[in-house]
Structure 1
Amino acid sequence: MSERTLTKGDPRGVFYDLFEEEEAAELVMRAQIVNALQAWLAESRENQMVLSKRLGVDKSRVSEVKHGKVEKFSLDNLVRLAQRAGLKPKLRIGV
């Protein structure tokens, strides 16, 4: 992280205050997918064991998503989990 003088937060979010542009962009995407997966988990009536089988991961990984452990997942892994959950992740590029 480079030294910066922080006078007002970046309107894009805290990740842009704390990290370089490239890393912040990835962290934002990862956090968005984790948030969507958390909502999906909260709406589900199934237990974590059933959900872990549906997602093709260990129960501990479901718990990590539930508790927002963004740092535990790569972007590509989160995209796969979201797809398996039926969330239909999409990427939109802005200029």
Structure 2
Amino acid sequence: MNKSMAICVGLLLAISTMIWGCAGNLPESQRIYYLQDNWGRSVQTANYNQTLNPTAGLTKAPVEGIDPKAAAHSVERYRESFKDGVEREQVSPIIIMGN
């Protein structure tokens, strides 16, 4: 008797939890308006959260970074690295084990 009662109570709790989880917190009449009022809000929020500096184009300050000669030299070395016959340094792999 105790075992069957425990099974019935467990099933009742499981079923009521599933029904409660599927039920919305808004009445049926307000759900449509809630969706219409917030249509596209998640896209706008994601776009806002992924923007690093929204006012970046409004300033006249110069961009800080690598100077043009160093950048040109780096690009030239990068392009030369793909040419055949260029000696490349042999790098041994580093294996780190543990924490």
Task: Name the TM-score, length of structure 1 as normaliser.
Answer: 0.28
Structure of larger gyration radius: 2
Which TM-score applies when normalising by structure 2? 0.27
